[in-house]
Amino acid sequence: MVLKKYLFPFIAMLAIAVLYFVNNELGKKAVEITTGSLLEMAMIIPPIFILLGLLDVWVPKETMIKYLGEHSGILGVVISFVLGSAAAGPLYGAFPIAAVLMKKGANFSNILIFIGAWSTTKIPMFMFEIESLGASFALTRLVVDIVGIVIIAKIINGLMTKKQLEKIYSNIEDV
């Protein structure tokens, strides 16, 4: 069990070592970038998990169900977009947050919207995109992506059977 848990990072580190022997320079660069990312992660991840723990304990389930649950409707969609867009950080940072929202009774389609928003419609990134690639590029992408995210969320949610969703939700409790 413990061995299995560490297998993936072990293989990834092994890959860096192999890269180092194949190409010294690239290997060194990979180590530098990885160390940099680890430091960055050390700054963001622990407080996120503390905040999530607090959220888990203090926010009542009823509140979450009201705003993001099965019958939250269009308000739930908007809140999911706002939550995802206001965030900062890489996509994999969104998953633990989604997990806590799910534990508290958020609807799966809203979770998918949250993940979609986190990946593409982040406000600071959008400003930066306008600056680099122009307003028509950034705006077109934003509009198409917002529509697309909602459609994708509805489709995936529709493709899941009740049993599969239940399994995901019960699995989340253990993560």
What's the closest the beta carbon of residue 62 comes to another protein, in angstroms?
A: 17
According to CB under 8 A, which one of 65, 66, 78, 119 is a site residue for another protein?
A: 119
What's the closest the beta carbon of residue 166 comes to another protein, in angstroms?
A: 11
Question: Contact between 8 and another protein (CB under 8 A)?
Answer: yes
The C-alpha torsion from 144 through 145 and 146 to 148, rounded to 10°, is 90
When the beta carbons of 75 and 175 are compared against another protein, the nearer one is 175
When the beta carbons of 73 and 148 are compared against another protein, the nearer one is 148
Is the Cβ–Cβ distance between 142 and 116 less than 8 Å?
A: no
Q: How far is CA 50 from the centre of its chain?
A: 17
Question: Contact between 113 and another protein (CB under 8 A)?
Answer: no
When the beta carbons of 13 and 75 are compared against another protein, the nearer one is 13
Stretch that binds another protein, among 60-68, 72-80, 115-123 (CB under 8 A): 115-123
Quote the CA–CA distance of 105 and 68 in Å, as a whole number. 8
Quote the CA–CA distance of 138 and 25 in Å, as a whole number. 36
According to CB under 8 A, which one of 33, 75, 86, 123 is a site residue for another protein?
A: 33
Residue 92: both structure tokens together: 């994999």
Question: Contact between 56 and another protein (CB under 8 A)?
Answer: yes
Question: Contact between 75 and another protein (CB under 8 A)?
Answer: no
Greatest Cα pair distance, the chain, in angstroms, is: 56
Provide the residue type at 139 as one letter: L
